[in-house]
Chain A
Amino acid sequence: MATKDSAETTGSTAEVVDWKTKLKYVLNDDFVRSLPFWGIPFVIMGAAVYGGIGYTVAISFTDYQGLSEPDFSSLDFEMYQQAFASEAFLQAAQNNLVLLVAFTSISLVLGLFLAILLDQDIRYNETIQTIYLMPMALSFVITAQLWLWMFNQDFGILNLILTTFGLPAVSWIGNPQIALGSVIFALIWQFSGYTMVVYLAGLQSLPDDQFEAARVDGASTIRTYVRVIIPQLKEASVSAAVVLMVFALKAFTFLYSLTGRYRPPTGTDILATLMVREAFRDAEWAYSAAIATMLLLMALGVIAPYLYYQHRQGSL
Chain B
Amino acid sequence: MSQSRPTFDTASLVEDVSLTRIAQYILVVVFIGFFLVPLEAGFVTALKTNEAVARSLPFVPSLGDGFTLENLEFAFNQLRDSFVNSLLLALPATIVNVLLASMAAYGLTMVNWRGQLGFLILFLIGIFVPYQAVIVPLADFWNNIFPIAEMLAPTFAAIPLLAEYHSDLVPLIITDIAYGIPICTILFRSYYNSLPESLVEAAKIDGASIAKIYRRIILPISKPMFGVVFIYQFTQIYNEFLFAFTLIVAADAPAAPVTLLIPSLGASTSGINYGIRMSAAILAALPTILLYVAFAEQFAKGLRTESG
Contact = CB atoms under 8 A, between A and B. Distances in A.
A-side interface mostly: helix
A101 interface: no
Nearest to A143: B38
Given A40-B103, A130-B293, A276-B132, A139 B285 contact: yes
Contacts of A279: 135-136
Interface in A298-316: 299-300, 302-303, 307, 310-311, 315-316
B154 interface: no
Interface string B259-292: 1001110010000101001101100110011011
Nearest to B274: A149
A291 to B, nearest CB: 7
Interface in A187-210: 189, 193-194, 197-198, 201
B8 to A, nearest CB: 14
Contact of A117 (B24, B246, B291): B24
Nearest to B304: A201
Interface string B127-148: 0111111111111100000000
A213 interface: no
A132 interface: yes
Contacts of B1: 218
Contact of A133 (B38, B210, B296): B296
Contact of B111 (A34, A150, A218, A256): A34
A132 B281 CA distance: 19
A135 to B, nearest CB: 6
A313 B3 CA distance: 41
Nearest to A295: B130
A56 B304 contact: no
Main SS at interface, chain B? helix
A157 B41 contact: yes
B28 A299 contact: no
A141 B214 CA distance: 39
B181 A250 contact: no
Interface stretch (B62-70, B112-120, B162-170): B112-120
B22 interface: no
A38 B128 contact: no
A92 B293 CA distance: 37
Interface string B17-55: 000100011011001101111110110010000000110
Contacts of A114: 31
A105 interface: no
A229 interface: no
A137 B242 contact: no
Contact of A38 (B104, B249, B299): B104
Given A289-B136, A307-B121, A37 B104 contact: yes
Interface stretch (A17-25, A78-86, A175-183, A238-246): A238-246
A165 interface: no
Interface of A: 3-4, 29-31, 33-42, 44-53, 55-56, 59, 114, 117-118, 120, 122, 126, 128-150, 152, 154-157, 160, 189, 193-194, 197-198, 201, 218, 221, 235-236, 239-240, 242-243, 246, 249-250, 252-253, 256-260, 271-272, 275-276, 279-280, 285, 288-289, 291-293, 295-296, 299-300, 302-303, 307, 310-311, 315-316
Sorted nearest first, the 5 A-B pairs with minimum C-beta distance are A52-B134, A38-B107, A37-B107, A139-B239, A48-B178
Given A160-B58, A271-B132, 8 more contacts: A44-B181, A56-B134, A132-B35, A145-B42, A146-B39, A295-B130, A296-B129, A316-B120
